Amino acid sequence: MEHSKQTQFGSSDKKDAGTSSVVNGHCDGMVKRPAGGPSQPPAAESGSQRPVMESWREDRTRSVEDNEISLPSLAAAYTTILRGLGDDPQRQGLLKTPWRAATAMQFFTKGYQEKLIDVLNDAIFDEDHDEMVIVKDIDMFSMCEHHLVPIFGRVHIGYLPNKRVLGLSKLARIVEIYSRRLQVQERLTKQIAVAITEALQPTGVGVVIEATHMCMVMRGVQKMNSKTITSTMLGVFREDPKTRDEFLTLIRS
């Protein structure tokens, strides 16, 4: 498995981060950005280029109040969709569907309402521990930003502490924050790894995601058993093959 290039933190010579390995995904093979070319969307790229903690202040782009304000227009949009599909929004079975669908979509994308600092600020502990920490098989649900259909699977996270550890449940919360947005799996994998790095400054981080994309299962090539596997390796997980192999072996056990 190939791995993304290491993102450098706290250095004046910051290198552009590469993409993660992909198997049976939307893009076959590696996608590389040419030097000086267009950058990725801010959520994926700018977070890895800013000083530690700075990106935490800019993650929330939607509030509970925004949900209340936008709900009627979202429901109206779903009414238009139902009519455009050839059905009657006024028939009994669809009378409340636009509101239900709008509310559900707000829940599916609730990661836009959350910030890392809200989740992690009270869960980082000083601890004299420098052995690998792994949480695997974290359930993940997201929405494909290309087709607005589900992506679901499992996330495996490992890191080598540098005198600080994170409450274990918070790793799952990081997954929830970034997965509950319109996503592509490649970006999601990197965002999780960068968030952990910004929060803890560990010696290294490894993230692997295995997921099923309903846009491949329900439409297009309709390959029922296809899975997409992406990985991001930072720090010693990228530099040291033995550390990386230990992580990959443990998440497969």
92 catalytic? Reply is no
| 87 phi/psi in degrees, rounded to 5 | -105, 170
DSSP conformation letters of 170-198: HHHHHHHHHHSSEE-HHHHHHHHHHHHHH
215 catalytic? Reply is yes
Please state, as a whole number, how many other Cβ atoms lie within 10 Å of the Cβ of residue 237. 28
- Write down the catalytic residue from 2, 54, 58, 145: 145
146 catalytic? Reply is yes
CA atoms within 13 A on the CB side of 26: 16
- Count Cβ neighbours within 10 Å for each residue of 48-72 and write b for 16 or more, e otherwise: bbbeeeebbeebbebeeeebeeebe
CA atoms within 13 A on the CB side of 185: 32
147 catalytic? Reply is yes
185 catalytic? Reply is yes
- Write down the catalytic residue from 8, 40, 201, 215: 215
- Write down the catalytic residue from 2, 90, 127, 146: 146
- Given a contact cutoff of 8 angstroms between Cβ atoms, the answer to whether 73 and 128 are in contact is no
Which token pair is 12?
Answer: 């004046």
145 catalytic? Reply is yes
- Given a contact cutoff of 8 angstroms between Cβ atoms, the answer to whether 59 and 111 are in contact is no
- Write down the catalytic residue from 26, 40, 147, 246: 147
- Write down the catalytic residue from 3, 106, 113, 144: 144
How far is Cα 23 from Cα 124, in angstroms, rounded to an integer? Answer: 34
How far is Cα 68 from Cα 98, in angstroms, rounded to an integer? Answer: 15
- Write down the catalytic residue from 185, 186, 198, 210: 185
Catalytic site positions = 144-147, 185, 213, 215
